[in-house]
Amino acid sequence: MSQDALSSEAPSGRTVGVPAENFPGERRVALVPGNVAALKKAGLSVIVQSGAGTQAGYSDGQFASTGVELVADRDEVFARADIVLQVRTAGANSEAGGEDRGRLRDGQTLIGMCDPLIGAEVMQDIAGRGVTSFAMELLPRITRAQSMDVLSSQASIAGYKAVLVAAERLPRMCPMMMTAAGTISPARFFVLGAGVAGLQAIATAKRLGAVVWSYDVRPAVKEEVLSLGAKFLEIDIVKTEDKQSGGYAREMDEEFYRHQREAMMKVIAESDVVITTAAIPGRKAPVLVTAEMVKAMPAGSIIIDMAAESGGNCVLTKAGEITIEHGVTIDGTINIPTNVPFHSSQMYGKNLTTFLLHLLKEGALDGAAGDEIVRETMVTRGGEVVNARVRDALGLTPLEQSPEVAASIETSSAGEPVESEIPAGKTSADVTVDQDNLADAPGDSDTSSS
């Protein structure tokens, strides 16, 4: 559907509100000035809390020049907005955002990163307020949803930044150098997980001149790792099914992780930097780096644990802290993308704008829609938690499907092609991946909620 057609069909008088983020240390903003024109063309008006974009590098003047109305009072933004856009909201900002939940009203729409599986009780509270909410972390990883995928966009930034932080703290240079004073050997990086964040970390470390190794339980990613100039660690362990479910990660059993850790011991002991990206939505991150591994690393080496917010891949990681154990610096910084706020906001704002326009096209703000993107991301509507995964987390019985959803499923099964990024030869029935980097997302370290 063209933008002109969308504009003619969009309901008039609907207002999008963008409050300043209040999660501790959050510098991003949910919408940037460059996104406003597309929303206005779709028949929406936009109000932004004054100063919301300042820390990200977007001034009030830049917003005002696009026709946005600046509002000084946070209460007014929530009171006037029909659609509230946020970076971290609901369960992803359960403490600092508690007051915001009191500002929500019946019939309002909330869109952002919600951490709905960990913060399921918060989502139930939001449902009770009559709010329709969409959690961007639940977006299905299909081809037509790529431009809306906040986990991927933020994870890419997190992977890039993690390498720069490691390089700055490392007491040695990254590239090999031939000098009159002798040859300087390159730093050795080991990236655990070759999802979006992991691949970006590999590419960034290679650009700095480091020798890079990577490991992922998915043999299919070996080619991507090698294409970036890194070496792929192949571990001869008991094979497990290599399938995927919507591109997201599934938890493996402890026996698998034990064999995995034993096999990785040697390469970690020889690494100057270890970057971990393994996180599972709604679950505690798997422990991949043991205290014994840390003790074996060279003095002055670095671990950047991008899964720190969901428990950490290193057993010694402390979320939100930078500690030193056995002479190794362990960085448990959470929410890494907020440290590159200009571009992370630009990418996030584009994701949200595309998603909101899709909701308008599907009529999802006004009634039920059978579209897969809408169905998977919608968490609450009509006073109920409607998302099957979140209901399961709450121990609630499944809701009966609406006629629209049932019709959509029947149509799809009748022969519509399924769009997917899943590699050939795999299915979306059941994932056995544990290295997809959800480091940017809250509850995503690739998702470092991130």
Domains, the chain, in order of start with CATH, read 3-149+340-413 (3.40.50.720), 158-337 (3.40.50.720)
Q: What's the confidence (pLDDT) of residue 379?
A: 97
Output the pLDDT for position 258.
Answer: 74
DSSP 117: T
Instruction: Give the pairing type, strands 231-232 and 322-325.
Output: unpaired
Q: How wide is the angle at C-alpha 323 spanned by C-alphas 344 and 160, nearest 5°?
A: 25
Output the tens digit of pLDDT for each of the chain's 450 residues. 444 444 444 444 699 999 999 999 999 999 999 999 999 999 999 999 999 999 999 999 999 999 999 999 999 999 999 999 999 999 999 889 999 999 999 999 999 999 999 999 999 999 999 999 999 999 999 999 999 999 999 999 999 999 999 999 999 999 999 999 999 999 999 999 999 999 999 999 999 999 999 999 888 899 999 999 999 998 765 444 444 445 544 556 677 777 777 889 999 999 999 999 998 877 899 899 999 999 999 999 999 999 999 999 999 999 999 999 999 999 999 999 999 999 999 999 999 999 999 999 999 998 877 899 999 999 999 999 999 999 999 999 988 765 554 444 444 334 333 333 333 333 332 333 333 333 333 333 443 344
Contact 129, 101 (CB under 8 A): yes
* Terminal-residue alpha carbon distance, the chain: 32
Whether 192 contacts 198, CB under 8 Å: yes
Q: pLDDT value at position 402? A: 54
Residue with tokens 């972390």: 137
pLDDT of residue 418: 33
Distances (CA, A) of 235 to 47, 167, 189: 53, 27, 18
By annotation, the residues acting in catalysis are 141, 146, 149, 152, 248
How far is 332 from 314, CA to CA, in rounded Å? 9
C-beta separation of 427 from 246 below 8 A: no
State the Cα–Cα distance between residues 114 and 96, nearest whole angstrom: 13
